[in-house]
C-alpha cells in the first residue's frame, strides 16, 4: 500500500467528458477488494522523493553501459543496442526556466554514477539558448557537466562526452536529437521531460516514431482524477524501473482507496507498455461503475503537474 502523492494537487484540467464509456473485454467489474493487487512500487509523496526515486532508477540503468566496453560488430557478434533512457518528472510550472533548471540540477548534478571510478562527463542539451543562464546558475558545483543548446551541436563536442541528456525538448527538435544521438552512439543518451504528449507520439512519422520508441522509460508518473456525480477518485499512472531491469513491474494504475482515511493508493491495473489515456479512462470508469450506484456523467481529468512543484520547499 502506498501513501497518497496527490494531496497537494493543483486544480486538475479537464481531459474528456463522456456520458458513457465502452468497457474493455478484458475487464470484469468486481468489488474493489478483488480488483486491487499488491505492488512493490510507491509513488512519490514529495518533490524530494520523486527526485530520489528517479536518481535510483536512472543511475542503476546507466552504471553498466557506462563501464562496460562496447562490443564492435563482427561476423559473429551483432552490434550492441545504444542505451537510451527516458525520465519524466512533471512540474507544476514546467514553462518556467528556473523551475526546469532547478529540477534538472537536483537530479543530474549529484547522480550517483561513475565511469572507471571517476565522474563521467555529461553533456546537457537544452531546448533553447535562453535556458543556458538559468542552468549554469542552478548547477553550481558540477565540474563534469557541460551545458549547450541543441542548435550548437558538433561532432567535436561529442568526442569528450560519456553521456548526453536532452532536457524538455520540443517535438520539432526530434530530427536534431536523432542526429545527435546517432552520432554519440554507442554512448548512452537520456530524454528528460519531453514536451510532447504520449498521444502526440502516435502521430510521429515512421522514422521519428521508431526513434522515440527506442528510449526505455525508467521513471514516470502522472496524476489523474475521475469525477462522478457523487464521488471523486484520485489515481496515478506510474512506472519505476528497479536495478536497471527493464522487465520490472511495467506500468501500473493506482487508485485512491475510498475506505481508507489516509487516502492510500493501491494497484487496480497493470500494463506491459505505457497505457493510452483511453485505456486508463476505461479502467477508472469501470472501477467506479462497479463500486458506485451512480455512474452517469463521469468526468475524467488529467493533471500533468501531479504534486511536484518547480520550487524547492
What is the model's pTM? Answer: 0.77
Enter the C-alpha cell of residue 101.
533548471
d(CA 44, CA 307) in angstroms, rounded, equals 9
**Helices 47-67, 97-108: inter-axial angle, 10-degree rounding:** 50
**226 and 285 Cβ atoms separated by less than 8 Å:** yes
H or E segment and range at residue 170: none
Enter the C-alpha cell of residue 62.
546507466
What is the residue extent of each domain of the chain? Answer: 13-44+220-303, 47-61+83-219
**86 and 191 Cβ atoms separated by less than 8 Å:** yes
- Spacing of C-alpha 197 from chain mean position: 11
What CATH number is given for 47-61+83-219 in this structure? Answer: 3.40.50.300
- Spacing of C-alpha 218 from chain mean position: 7
Enter the C-alpha cell of residue 83.
542505451
pLDDT at 80: 67
Enter the C-alpha cell of residue 19.
456520458
**303 and 10 Cβ atoms separated by less than 8 Å:** yes
d(CA 48, CA 225) in angstroms, rounded, equals 23
Task: Convert 151-188 to b/e letters by CB count within 10 Å (16 or more is b).
Answer: eebeeebbeebbbbbbbbbeeebbeebbebbeebbebb
Return per-residue pLDDT of the chain as tens, 313 residues: 454 444 433 333 333 333 333 333 333 333 333 333 344 557 888 889 999 999 999 999 999 889 885 544 444 445 568 999 999 998 766 668 899 999 999 999 989 998 988 889 999 999 999 999 999 999 987 789 999 999 888 888 888 899 999 999 999 999 999 999 999 999 999 999 999 887 888 888 888 999 999 999 999 988 877 666 666 778 888 998 877 666 556 898 888 876 665 667 888 888 888 888 888 888 877 777 666 555 444 455 544 444 444 444 4
Amino acid at each position: 500500500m502506498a501513501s497518497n502523492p496527490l494531496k497537494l494537487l493543483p486544480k486538475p484540467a479537464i481531459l474528456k467528458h463522456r456520458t458513457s464509456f465502452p468497457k474493455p473485454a478484458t475487464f470484469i467489474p468486481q468489488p474493489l477488494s478483488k480488483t486491487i493487487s499488491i505492488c512493490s512500487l510507491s509513488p512519490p509523496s514529495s518533490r524530494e522523493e520523486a527526485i530520489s526515486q528517479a536518481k535510483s532508477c536512472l543511475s542503476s540503468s546507466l552504471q553498466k553501459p557506462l563501464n562496460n566496453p562496447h562490443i564492435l560488430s563482427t561476423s559473429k557478434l551483432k552490434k550492441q543496442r545504444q542505451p537510451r533512457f527516458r525520465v519524466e518528472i512533471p512540474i507544476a510550472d514546467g514553462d518556467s526556466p528556473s523551475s526546469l533548471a532547478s529540477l534538472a540540477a537536483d537530479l543530474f548534478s549529484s547522480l550517483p554514477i561513475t565511469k572507471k571510478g571517476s565522474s563521467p562527463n555529461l553533456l546537457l542539451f537544452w531546448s533553447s539558448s535562453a535556458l543556458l543562464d538559468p542552468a549554469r546558475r542552478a548547477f553550481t558545483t558540477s565540474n563534469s557537466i557541460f551545458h549547450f543548446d541543441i542548435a550548437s551541436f558538433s561532432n567535436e563536442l561529442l568526442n569528450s562526452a560519456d553521456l548526453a541528456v536532452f532536457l524538455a525538448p520540443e517535438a520539432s527538435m526530434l530530427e536534431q536529437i536523432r542526429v545527435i544521438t546517432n552520432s554519440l552512439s554507442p554512448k548512452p543518451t537520456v530524454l528528460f521531460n519531453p514536451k510532447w504528449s504520449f498521444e502526440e507520439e502516435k502521430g510521429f512519422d515512421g522514422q521519428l516514431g521508431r526513434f522515440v520508441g527506442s528510449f526505455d522509460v525508467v521513471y514516470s508518473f502522472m496524476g489523474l482524477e475521475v469525477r462522478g456525480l457523487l464521488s471523486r477518485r484520485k489515481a496515478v499512472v506510474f512506472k519505476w524501473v528497479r536495478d536497471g531491469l527493464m522487465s520490472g513491474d511495467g506500468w501500473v494504475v493506482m487508485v485512491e482507496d475510498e475506505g481508507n482515511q489516509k487516502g492510500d493508493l493501491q494497484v487496480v491495473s497493470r500494463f506491459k507498455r505505457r497505457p493510452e489515456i483511453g485505456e486508463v479512462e476505461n479502467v477508472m470508469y469501470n472501477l467506479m461503475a462497479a463500486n458506485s450506484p451512480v455512474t452517469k456523467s463521469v468526468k475524467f481529468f488529467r493533471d500533468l503537474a501531479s504534486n511536484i512543484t518547480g520550487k524547492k520547499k
